[in-house]
Amino acid sequence: MTTPSLSEKRLSEQRPQEQQLSEQRLLQQAFAKFSALGFLPIALLLTLLLPTLSSRQELLAAPERWGNDKVKNNYALIAGTVWGPDDRPVYGVPVKIRRSTDKPTKTRWQVYSDHMGEFAQRVPTGEADYILSADLKSFKTVDGRPLLLVKEVTVHIYQDEREDTGLHLTIEEAGPNK
């Protein structure tokens, strides 16, 4: 029997180390592929199943737990439409809203009518009267006659509800001097 030379011993020792390194590289590559492809379905599955694992009451009570102010703050809604003298909606009219207990010159809220002549304003809940008026300083008809509000509208709010109303405009009639 021949004894292996020193160089043959080194080669035989290096081959298992190289094989071991190549196996480690293959395992790392396989793990990288698995983690990239295998993690996504698992994460998706957990995302879909997680709400079913938690209790329904906890999910329904979540906004209060998280401090969502919209759940605690109720409001009433005053909504309406501004109608022109020809019974068509009027765009861009400033609507002033105040409480009936406020001074007539005070405006708490001012909203504008949209392209459909509609406006809406949130107001606090509770029983109160609100007076709606329109600021028509810059509004005139096509032939140059100024527009007037027929009358201010009073809206009564009881609690957290929606009240719909309408503001009707008319054409200023010519006085005796005209």
Give yes or no for residue 94 having a pLDDT over 50. Answer: yes
Residues 79, 50 share a domain: no
Domain final residue pick, 38, 63, 88? 63
Residues 87, 23 share a domain: no
Residues 38, 92 share a domain: no
Confidence of residue 145 (pLDDT cuts 50, 70, 90): confident
Whether 153 is in a domain gets the answer yes
Confidence of residue 146 (pLDDT cuts 50, 70, 90): confident
Confidence of residue 89 (pLDDT cuts 50, 70, 90): very high
**Structural domain harbouring 50:** 6-63
CATH number of the domain to which 162 belongs: 2.60.40.10
What pLDDT score does 24 carry? 76
Average pLDDT over residues 167-175: 80
Whether 177 is in a domain gets the answer no
Residues 162, 127 share a domain: yes
Whether 69 is in a domain gets the answer no
Domain count, the chain: 2
What pLDDT score does 152 carry? 93
Whether 55 is in a domain gets the answer yes
For the segment 22-42, what is each residue's pLDDT rounded down to a tens digit?
777 877 776 676 665 666 666
Whether 99 is in a domain gets the answer yes
Whether 178 is in a domain gets the answer no
Residues 162, 80 share a domain: yes
For a pLDDT cut of 70, what percent of the chain falls above it? 62
What pLDDT score does 66 carry? 47
Residues 105, 85 share a domain: yes
Give yes or no for residue 44 having a pLDDT over 70. Answer: no
What pLDDT score does 35 carry? 61
Residues 154, 83 share a domain: yes
Question: 90, 116, 75: which is closest to 170 by C-alpha?
Answer: 90
Q: Please give the mean pLDDT across all residues of the chain.
A: 78
For the segment 99-138, what is each residue's pLDDT rounded down to a tens digit?
999 898 889 999 999 999 999 999 999 999 999 999 988 8
pLDDT: which is higher, 143 or 51: 143
Q: The pTM is what?
A: 0.57
